[in-house]
Amino acid sequence: MINQTVNKLKALKNRKGAIGIIIAICIVIFLLILLIAFAAAIIGSHQGANSTGGLITGTDTGGCTGGKLPQSVLDLINQNKPVYQAAAKAEGIDWEMLAAVHYREATNNPNGSLMSGEKIGTVNPDNGKTYNTLYDSAVAAAQSLKSRVNGLRVGSDSDTIKKAFLGHNRGDRYTKGGCSLDSSPYVMNQFDAAHTNMAYPSNLICEPKSTAGRTETKLGAFTVYSILKGNIAGSATCTQTSGPAATGSCADILPAAEKYFGLNYSQASHCGPNTIGPAGVTAVDCSGYVSRVYRDIGIASKNWCTRTATIPNDSTLVLITNDLSRAPQLAQQGDLILTGSHVVIYVNNNTVYASRGETAGGPQKETVRSGVWNVKNLAATHGWVGLYRAKACTLQQPAALIQSAVNNALKVKK
């Protein structure tokens, strides 16, 4: 009897071990599927792309011929792509539609709204609303597109997408004036030989005096959408990288920042020599500190030097949000938290790396017991401005998230 009981216990133990192995195998298979799906999405987004051929360079106007996007616009689309994708996912439409609308309204300038091209944070001239972030304006634009046509969704047919674009621009006027969708440069310009340098309808019901009869050179929204989808043969698509090429990983920001710990604080040594010690820098201020760290690992150019006053317009950086309530959810290690007179490197919601001041000292790890995002703490340095990230890090983020998921899963398995 005792021997039978022992044998049963051993069998049960063996079954539990087998179950554990099966669970571990399932986790690994799931992670492989996740990685394959991610790779497939990347490949699919670039399918049929001619990444560099025939691109127009040296222009910031967005004027194009032959169905090509200027390099400057491609760079901005890549910079803003995470925002377009997040807003499009929230509203259930193709992100390429939002990139196309932003091109028409603000030539993809991240400081310009998708609604009417007005500066982010200012009153929209058409609806009187204020969009404080690019994401907010992208969501509003997605909702506007959806409101103009029934059934707009991911993968909608061409006619539905064209109608949505026209509706976002002057759909009601074109309907009242009897102007066809095909006659709208906003939608169709430069799509093909029949839509090259189109003139806006001279009908003043369809178009206001400011545009009626005027020849357009910018690509139409549907043209941009088709280019990004790879549906126009030989067209350039959104495959270029934006900003400086990263020679290191954005995960290296914190280790690079830590090597400056122990230096003194000095505004006089803002962006001097890169080396540390008697022959180089021995003191640094807050913005000089982050400048050195970013360029040390190659996510900024070797001569990059920013200041708190210039960060909002710095082309090396991207505004993630200026909404303080959303910042804790969007922040990632290595981001910059900017206030009116100070900038620090974000570590977690209770820790930053900062070069504080003459009395507080130079580069150091600072634990903020009341929280990094505490309004009183931010007020001490003249108030919250925004959360910023290196452009290079916006491109690396999806891969980093997957790697993090893999690492966490492996820890669970162990």
Q: What is the 3-state secondary structure (H, E, C) of 307-361?
A: CCCCHHHCCCEEEEECCCCCHHHHCCCCCEEEECCCEEEEEECCEEEECCECCCE
The residue from 229, 260, 276 where one domain ends is 229
The per-residue pLDDT for range 218-272, each reduced to its tens digit, is 899 999 999 888 765 333 333 322 233 333 467 788 888 888 888 888 876 566 5
Number of compact structural domains in the chain:
2
264 in the same domain as 192: no
The residue from 164, 199, 229 where one domain ends is 229
141 in the same domain as 77: yes
CATH code, domain carrying 343: 3.90.1720.10
**pLDDT-flagged residues of the chain (< 50):** 6, 9, 38-67, 233-248, 274-279, 396-406, 408-414
283 in the same domain as 139: no
Are 186 and 170 in contact, with CB atoms under 8 Å apart?
yes
292 in the same domain as 156: no
- Global pTM value: 0.46
By C-alpha distance, which of 382, 239, 395, 381 is closest to 316? 395
DSSP string, 207-261: S-TTTTT-B--BPPHHHHHHHHHT-STT---S----SSPPSS-GGGHHHHHHTTT
185 in the same domain as 98: yes
Domain that holds residue 96: 71-229
In a domain, 349, yes or no: yes
344 in the same domain as 298: yes
Instruction: Look up residue 359 and give its two tokens.
Output: 């009395």
205 in the same domain as 127: yes
Are 93 and 145 in contact, with CB atoms under 8 Å apart?
yes
Instruction: Look up residue 164 and give its two tokens.
Output: 């949505």
Q: Amino acid identity of 16?
A: K
In a domain, 34, yes or no: no
CATH code, domain carrying 110: 1.10.530
* pLDDT of the residue at 33: 65
The per-residue pLDDT for range 42-80, each reduced to its tens digit, is 333 333 223 222 222 222 223 333 347 777 788 889 889
287 in the same domain as 212: no
